[in-house]
Amino acid sequence: MPAADPPATDAAPDETAPQRTPPQPRPRCFSSPLRSPSGSTSPPPSPSSRSSSPTSYLPPPPRLSRLSSAGTSPPAAYPEKKKLDPAPGLFAVTSRPAAAAAGGSPAHRVLILPGLAAGSFSFRRVFSSLSSRGVLAAALDLPGQGLSPAPPASAAPARASALREIMDRGVFHAFEHLVQTGEVPYQEEPEAAPPAGSPHAPDEAAAAVARAVEALGVGPVHLVLHDSALAAGAAFASANPGAVRSVTLVDAAASLPAFPAAVFDVPVLGRLVLRVPALFRGFLRLCCARGMGAEEAEAHRAAMRWGEGRAEGVVQAWKAMNHSFQLGEWRHSSEEVRRLPMMVLWSGTWSDRWIDEGKKVAAALPDAKFVYHSGSRWPQEDASEEISGLLAEFVTSTEEVAGGRIE
């Protein structure tokens, strides 16, 4: 626990003051082809081609689009939004520094995997700050989270209805069936086990991230794992050691997400929280970021309500978490992973219980750089400058130790 006073955080937005923001360019979702690293693009798909695309052309919610560049200065650092289709079907956001926009190659490339329900939108200020420091920042919304489409739900197996069988065959058929076979009739079959290879599983999510990194052309990257993205990011680093130069954990826990997904698994309560802005904002302030402003909370609520199955996708991702993941075992799972430079950024002000969790992480990663920050469990919302500064300093020092720049 740091003895000195924590550094100052970003001031909480004044909810009563009118927010005057200049008009922003409309976010662009590309079905194909993608914007190349050099910056060339093809125009968005025409209306006639959108209907035939594997994933329908659906821009982000207007409120989220309007706020996604809040606090961005200069305007050139406005994040570029992409829809990676037809595979892996993830929503990506990149923010290129001025040097890269002028045709140069950025020295450092950071890939952020946001935690449960946080989405790339929550890192909008981090993008701007990293861009001003000469760092190319990219973020991917994992399957079913943020603005990435929810994976298609598998059809439930057809089951015979006991009531329908009784109506069709009669009540006395039960006694005849019992005498002849010794079995009790009219029993519904138990539900089948969920199919293997769930898109929310860490290995499947890691494979999608690997395809997205290749499509974006941003590798190798300094990997930043926030909150529940730990297991998927660890699986990606293990399977693609050459694509990762360092790993930073930001209040990351494989099975302890900040977002209260269990609330949205209760049908009536979940719908009520999504419909009432004050309730949704209250849950975010209680569990994720105490300084969450009204407009920011409303943008997160819009993302949860946008499209079909968005809240259900978050719940399914929560249920698919790997509760058996052991950080220390992963760190020593291979020589490549063991050699990766690591940093842990942890909230030193959230709660005593969360500080204890941070101590467990520090014990599991004794060779990692451990830093307490002054923000919440979503520090990208209330301590963005502090987080960005620590990230930029770490990746820069890592590149200097490695003795080279990324070409």
Q: How far is it, in rounded angstroms, from Cα 141 to Cα 118?
A: 9
Q: How far is it, in rounded angstroms, from Cα 237 to Cα 223?
A: 8
Taking only the tens of pLDDT, the chain with its 407 residues reads: 444 455 444 444 454 555 444 443 333 333 333 333 333 333 333 333 333 332 333 344 444 444 443 333 333 334 565 555 444 568 888 887 866 555 556 668 999 999 999 999 999 999 999 999 999 999 999 887 888 876 665 544 444 454 555 556 655 555 565 555 555 454 444 444 344 567 778 888 899 899 989 888 888 999 999 999 999 999 999 999 999 999 999 999 988 999 999 999 988 899 999 999 999 999 999 999 998 999 999 999 998 887 667 788 888 889 888 888 999 999 999 999 999 999 999 999 999 999 999 999 999 999 999 999 999 999 999 999 999 999 999 999 998 876 654 44
Note the pLDDT of residue 143.
83
Q: Which tokens hold the place of 201? A: 């599983």
Angle at alpha carbon of residue 401, lines to 400 and 406, rounded to 5°: 55
What are the chain's domains?
60-150+202-402 (3.40.50.1820)
Note the pLDDT of residue 255.
85
Query: pTM for the whole thing?
Result: 0.72
Q: How far is it, in rounded angstroms, from Cα 144 to Cα 131?
A: 27
Note the pLDDT of residue 399.
84
DSSP tally for the chain: helices H, then strands E:
17, 8
**Pairing mode of beta strands 135-141, 91-95:** antiparallel
Angle at alpha carbon of residue 171, lines to 167 and 173, rounded to 5°: 105
Name, in order, each residue with C-beta under 8 angstroms of 329's C-beta and a sequence gap of 6 or more: none
In the block, which residue shows the tokens 């609330």?
Answer: 263
* Closest of 383, 405, 385, 381 to residue 395, by C-alpha: 405
